Structure 1
Amino acid sequence: MSLKMLLTSDVHLGMKFSTHPKVQGELAEARFITLSNLVQKANKEHCDLFVVAGDLFERVNVAKRDILRAAQTLREFQGNLVAVLPGNHDFMSNGQNNLWTIFEESAENNVLVLKNKQVEPLQHYDLDVNLYPAPCDAKNSCKNSTDWIKNESKDEGVQFHIGVAHGSLEGFSPDFESNYFPMTQSELEAFNLDLWLLGHTHIQYPKNPGPRDRIFYPATPEPDGFDCNHEGKAWILKLDDEKNVEPVSISTGKYRFVHRELTLLPDSNIESLITNSLPLDRESTLLKLKLKGRIMEEEYEKLEQIRSNLEDSFFDIKMDYSDVARAITPDIIDREFTEGSFPHRLLTELAYKEEDWEALQVAYDMINGVKK
């Protein structure tokens, strides 16, 4: 018997996106659309198991309507079981159970919340699998939740033994102060499970997996900021009778966050340069564009119109050209300063020495500052 599953995590339903007020609603809605698309993909691929390895929700006090909608979406999975692990954003605790209580009441019998540190046999769901959950019980912790597994003996009559955890992985996850349930590869391998399905880090791991890899992060399925430079990812994983894994990475997201920094030169055609440096799929791209350098005056005058044109074509844009300066030419010096004056003589001398352009810019700015 083989086992086929879709692995996702860090969906963060209910994320507010307050830093993107113009498109706030669309970004929040995209996360629900992506979850629905994941379910449909799993159905199309005839997956037996659908796993959410933590942070299905953005926070423990997410709106009830979001909880109900998530449950309704996951009920559409046509395989054997949806298994959902509480992560560090939607953690399970004695004082904050309302989220998962509502979710469980709304979900059907093919949805299981992995809220307990105990073996979860899935034979009742016609799956020859035991799950070993490591749910989060707080937002932050310097200790992961897998310790209980070391005291469990594996039932040799069960074909697959799979761990599900949420937290950082040493050498891969950016957790410099070890605040997010830190784990190590050797620690996870010591449990001798057939597979580890992890959540928390929003980047897919491993980069180039093989049949004997045992630790998988799916990445966030819908990009959520400019530090996320992929299009949203998930794994479809197939375990065969010999416990070899066949991993297939899938692209899942609706929107892309793209950050570009461009250096402009006096001979730049800025409209052409910017156009050729930006993604083509503009209607689904949030762009942060930082420009710097110096350009000719006629090009500088185009910047505001270029910004306006980009705002019309991109889904959302933040364009900063505060570090762009006009190239100071002899024509500008002649126009702004009296011929023969000290400023005119100084700036003219610097203007004819290309290597002194930085000194020219500083001198020009200082003189203008005194004039004001």
Structure 2
Amino acid sequence: MIRLLHTADWQIGRNYARFALEDAAALADARFLAIETIAQLAVQEQADVIVVAGDVFDSQTLSDRSLRRAFNAMAGFTGPWVLLPGNHDAALSESVWTRARRLGCVPEQVHIVDKPDPLELASLRLTILPAPLTQRQTYHDLTAWFDQASSPADHVRVGLAHGSISGLLEHIDSHNQIDQDRATHARLDYLALGDWHGTLKVNDRCYYSGTPEPDRFRNNDSGQVVLVELDGPGALPVLRIVPTARHAWFSLAHELSDDMDLDVLEQALANVPEQSVVELVLDGQLSLSGFERLNTVLGQAEARCRAWSCQQDNLRLAPTEADLQALQADGYLRAAVEQLQKLRTDTQDPAAQDALLILASLLRDKGDRHAH
């Protein structure tokens, strides 16, 4: 029996410029840590081989340091690693792969399958048929040669490819297409795919593993690897999906109008696991006291998250008469509050809202000091 760990779309070197520098660096670092996690998992599960179905690297311009660091992270598993070039790291005549070889940083147990030739791992009685991308986009099926490829009769046949399954993930002008019946046509025991960033079953012998570390706000079952048991040529594979993500990604939207809505938001944010990546969009309107509570709720939630983005442009400030009375603003201060409120209403200028909130905070602080 062969125990194979299938992963893909590591995209080492990915940039997270939409987030603060500290958070972006941590998310980039998590992708290196994912390699270490995969190595540890392979040892724990007594895997025989790890296959990576494309997009190991995010670009051809990855720094030498990051290139070395990625291969160093594989040290925890001393069995064979089989790495396939995808569309982000295609096997060009001069590529991230040729540079890795030139730097001498590719470990002995790592096989870079950058040519469409069978890789025979005789000790495992396993033949891997790779379909490396030699350019970023192609409009013919690079797995077609699998059908005529020979392998020893006692070997398990595993295909390794990166692209869109025809009839399932293809769209207008889609590229890098793969026949959804390739496993049957090529007599494959398993076809390991990359490109789709979530775990996805095509059929009993064909899966996308997805990326081991989520990288976008899409509910596509990402952050996992696939453990595959192959009992011999012709036997159906037995699969187990294993979570590997350090940082879950959540996209949330809430409309706020009163304290009850704030209660719902507070509970929703409390349910988000620590160290998650959160994108929050807020809409509606709140009183001054509501905004003050909101700022506390958001501050507490942001402190628990690894990365945070909150969009409040469509959330309006609507002070009530009770708000103004509670501020104990009179004379010119009350006039200033009312003028800021009018400016905020008429122009939708966020600066007016910020000024009003600051003034309210100062007045409340003054009132608290007088009370004591």
Q: When the two structures are superposed, what TM-score results if normalisation uses the length of structure 2? A: 0.80
The match for 1:56 is 56
Give the aligned partner of residue 144 of structure 1: 141
Paired residues for 1:108-187 under 5 Å: 108-123=107-122, 126-152=123-149, 154-173=150-169, 175-187=170-182
Q: Quick one: which amino acid aligns to residue 82 of structure 2? A: A
Hey, what does 2:67 align to over in structure 1? 67
Matched, 1:262 2:254: yes
Cα distance in 1 for residues equivalent to 2:124 and 2:220: 36
Change (3 A) 1:107 1:366: closer
> What is the TM-score of this pair, normalised by structure 1?
0.80
Q: What letter matches 1:155 in structure 2?
A: S
Q: Secondary structure at the match of 1:304?
A: helix
Secondary structure, aligned partner of 1:86: coil
Aligned to 2:315: 324
**Residue 288 (str. 1) matches residue 274 (str. 2):** no
Partners of 1:279 and 1:167 in 2: CA distance: 38
The C-alpha deviation readout for 1:258-305, integer Å capped at 9, x for no partner, is 1100122345251x2222112545541111111112344431343334
Pairwise mapping of residues 176-215 of structure 1 onto structure 2 (< 5 A)?
176-206=171-201, 213-215=204-206
Distance in 1 (CA, whole Å) between partners of 2:62 and 2:302 is 32
Q: Pick closer, same or farther for the CA change 1:219–1:103 going to 2, 3 Å.
A: farther
Matches within 5 A, 1:335-350: none
Is the 1:75–1:107 Cα contact (8 Å) retained in structure 2?
no
The SS at the match of 1:238 is: strand
SS at 1:66 equivalent: helix
Structure 2 residue aligned with 1:37: 37
* Change in 2 beyond 3 A, CA 1:316/1:367: closer
Query: What is residue 88 of structure 1 aligned with on the other side?
Result: 87
Q: Could you tell me which residue of structure 2 aligns to residue 351 of structure 1?
A: none
Map 1:9-20; keep pairs closer than 5 Å.
Answer: 9-20=8-19
Displacement of 1:169 after TM fit?
A: 1.5
Amino acid at match of 1:18: A
What residue is the counterpart of 1:102 in the other structure?
100
Residues 67 and 99 in structure 1, CA contact (< 8 A), matched pair in contact too: no
Rounded to whole Å, the distance in 1 between the matches of 2:348 and 2:72 is 64
Aligned sequence identity (%): 23
Contact 1:118/1:132 (<8 A) preserved: yes
Supply the AA of the counterpart residue of 2:225.
A
Contact 1:163–1:197 (8 Å) recurs in 2: yes
Cα distance, 1:24 vs structure 2: 1.6
CA distance in 2 between counterparts of 1:43 and 1:254 reads 19
Q: Which runs of 5+ in 1 are unaligned?
A: 335-363
1:226 matches 2:217: yes
Please give the per-residue CA displacement for 1:204-256, whole angstroms capped at 9, x wherever unaligned.
0118x7xxx11011110001122356461100100113512110100001112
Point out where structure 2 has 5 or more consecutive residues left out of the alignment: 326-343, 353-372
CA distance in 1 between counterparts of 2:40 and 2:347 reads: 65
2:119 partner amino acid: E
Measured against aligned partners, the alpha-carbon deviations of 1:308-333 in whole angstroms (never above 9, x if no partner) come to 33333322211122222346867789
Amino acid of the residue matched to residue 258 of structure 1?
Answer: F
